[in-house]
Amino acid sequence: MSEDSKPTTHQVVIVGGGPVGLWTAHELALAGVRPLVLERSEHRSPHSKALGVHPRTIEVLAMRGRHEELLAAGRPVPNWHFGMLETRLDFRSLPTPFPFMLAFPQSATEQLLERYATELGAEVRRGHEVVSLTQDDTTATLGVRGPDGPYEVTAQYVVGSDGTGSTVRRQVGCEFPGTETSAYGYLGEVVLDSPPPAGFQALNEAGRLLVVPLAHGRYRVTGYDPLNQHREPLTLEELRDAARRIAGTDFGMRDPSWLTRFGNATRLAASYRTGRVLLAGDAAHSHFPAGGVGLNVGLQDAMNLGWKLAAVAQGRAGVELLDTYHAERHAVGEELAEHTLAQSALITGLTPDVTALRALLSDAVADDPHFSRMLAGKLSGLDTVYPPTDPHAHPLTGVRAHDPEGQGVLPLLHDGRPVLLTMGDIRVSGEVAERAATAGVTVHRSRLSVTGGEQWAGVTAALLRPDGHVWWATEQPAATAGHVSATTRALESLPAPR
């Protein structure tokens, strides 16, 4: 290759054009980085692995003003299951403007996210498969097989969001430890001539079966059948047989559009960062699809990574900021592995001891609001906290900021820049206002010291990260030299403004 024909080095190349890769691209483009997305499939899949968007994910989209179309087209579901327990978790008491699981198919989510990303300047190439990746101290080089033949792309940074079989993860030699598949679930999307009522599930010694209505008169029939534990493709007759044994009827199922099996293998990448390569979504964590959390955790990975990677790629922050992505999100991946393994055991265990455990947990969900709230917090993503490394940091540091009285802080983050909240009638000093303007930080008066609960009581100022978590907070009296000095130092600790 001649000197003149060498390709331009992209700031960021994203491998994988699913929802996680597309939201990462959106976040980068919002910050002024023009990412390249390489997706091996020529066309978007018509099948939706995920059917729901959870409360924290809706908040993530709302922080960028990207939630309205989903809300308009989706169907709010006020409760959702944990491990197919008989008693469902009630999302209506969760501290969020969106106390529900939004029934909305992944294929439609992906379509919207691609439009949002490309409107901001991201480039998406479909039918382009990454087959190799090398990196050195300055760049990463990707070998790509495209429609017109092989070519190379260079980048400052690479994001692997290319699924559980991630080429990116394998190419950088990142270990993916965990458990092997010990049980298989089934899934079929079919027409039902005699559908059951909404929310139908059957749980007995014969297995598990859940029916979820889809659009255009179709239904998803999914669950666990102990008599068909193999990797061979699922057939319509097997699905009918499972339904008859577990639910007593096959509901008149016909005309399948998708038949598949899925396993409970659970793995977590040893590191979410290897040099100039970062992992997100299913490339970083694989698990049983219990509770529909996979897409949601992946989009929250992207929200954490996007603003950090943009700041580093643009030279506004040091590379150490990327280490915080692993530190914060790997811990979330560990929790994800734990509770999906627990749900897998509850769903696939048909022995008397598991039946007794299911009854005990179901009663606890029904009778103990604190226990129910804990499980709902895990599924919804609302309880995610990023503990600070500084032991002297304010207890609010890393907590998700929300206003119980409405959408509150979410619209303040539409441009993806940090926000300085001042409490009540506290006026910002000229020095702080000047420093905030220089740092590209929006200043907003908030009532969270009154409405936000015990954690916020006494807080006089708080600095929010672009992903809506608290960067810094103080209870020092306003307008004092200490308050001004501490606030100024906090503003100076942010990445340089774009």
List pLDDT tens digits, range 40-81: 999 988 888 888 999 999 999 999 999 999 999 999 999 999
Q: Is 3.40.50.720 the CATH number for 184-263?
A: no
3-class DSSP assignment, residue 62? helix
Greater pLDDT, 188 or 2:
188
Residue 3: per-residue pLDDT: 38
Q: Which CATH architecture has domain 410-492?
A: 3-Layer(aba) Sandwich (3.40)
In the predicted structure, residue 89 carries a pLDDT above the cut 80: yes
Residue 121: per-residue pLDDT: 97
Looking at the chain, the whole-number percentage of residues with pLDDT higher than 90 is 85
Which letter does DSSP use for residue 469 in this model? B
Query: How far is Cα 139 from Cα 87, in angstroms, rounded to an integer?
Result: 52
Alpha helices by DSSP H, listed for 31-88, are 55-62, 68-73
Handedness of CA 191, 197, 200, 205 (dihedral sign): negative
Residue 484: per-residue pLDDT: 87
In the predicted structure, residue 2 carries a pLDDT above the cut 60: no
- The tokens for 146 are 């495209």
Q: Mean of the pLDDT values across residues 103-107?
A: 91
Phi and psi at residue 157, to the nearest 5° = -140, 150
Residue 7: per-residue pLDDT: 63
In the predicted structure, residue 6 carries a pLDDT above the cut 80: no
3-class DSSP assignment, residue 64? coil
Q: Mean of the pLDDT values across residues 357-372?
A: 96
Q: How buried is 351 (Cβ within 10 angstroms: 0-12 exposed, 13-18 middle, 19+ buried)?
A: exposed
List pLDDT tens digits, range 168-190: 999 999 999 999 999 999 999 99
CA nearest 22: which of 5, 44, 51? 44
Residue 406: per-residue pLDDT: 65
Those residues whose C-beta lies under 8 Å from the C-beta of residue 57, and which sit 6 or more positions away, are 295, 296, 299, 300, 381
Residue 431: per-residue pLDDT: 86
Q: Mean of the pLDDT values across residues 420-443?
A: 87
Q: Mean of the pLDDT values across residues 361-379?
A: 95
What average pLDDT does the chain have? Answer: 93
* Selection from 4-8, 165-169, 425-429, 485-489 with the highest mean pLDDT: 165-169
Query: How far is Cα 283 from Cα 382, in angstroms, rounded to an integer?
Result: 23
Helix or strand holding residue 343 (H, E): helix 320-348
Sheet of 207-213: strand order equals 201-204, 207-213, 218-224, 184-192, 253-263
Superfamily of segment(s) 9-178+267-380: FAD/NAD(P)-binding domain (3.50.50.60)
Which letter does DSSP use for residue 195 in this model? P
List pLDDT tens digits, range 451-472: 888 999 999 999 999 999 999 9
Query: How far is Cα 54 from Cα 61, in angstroms, rounded to an integer?
Result: 11
CA nearest 59: which of 417, 411, 442, 331? 411
CB atoms under 10 Å from CB of 493, counted, come to: 11
CA nearest 340: which of 399, 262, 261, 226? 262
Q: What is the DSSP string of 171-187?
A: HTT----EE----EEEE
Query: How far is Cα 303 from Cα 295, in angstroms, rounded to an integer?
Result: 12
Separate counts of helices (H) and strands (E) for the chain: 13, 25
3-class DSSP assignment, residue 209? strand
- The tokens for 422 are 């001042």
CB 77 within 8 A of CB 103: yes
Rg from Cα positions in the chain: 24
In the predicted structure, residue 130 carries a pLDDT above the cut 60: yes
Those residues whose C-beta lies under 8 Å from the C-beta of residue 140, and which sit 6 or more positions away, are 13, 133, 134, 154, 155, 156, 157, 158, 275, 276, 277
Residue 320: per-residue pLDDT: 96
Residue 483's pLDDT band (cuts 50, 70, 90)? confident
Q: Mean of the pLDDT values across residues 320-346?
A: 96
- The tokens for 365 are 């969900």
Domain-by-domain residue ranges, the chain? Answer: 9-178+267-380, 184-263, 410-492
CB 30 within 8 A of CB 415: yes
In the predicted structure, residue 424 carries a pLDDT above the cut 90: no
Query: How far is Cα 364 from Cα 380, in angstroms, rounded to an integer?
Result: 19
- The tokens for 462 are 């708080």
Q: Mean of the pLDDT values across residues 350-376?
A: 95
pTM for the model stands at: 0.95
List pLDDT tens digits, range 253-304: 999 999 999 999 999 999 999 999 999 999 999 999 987 888 999 999 999 9
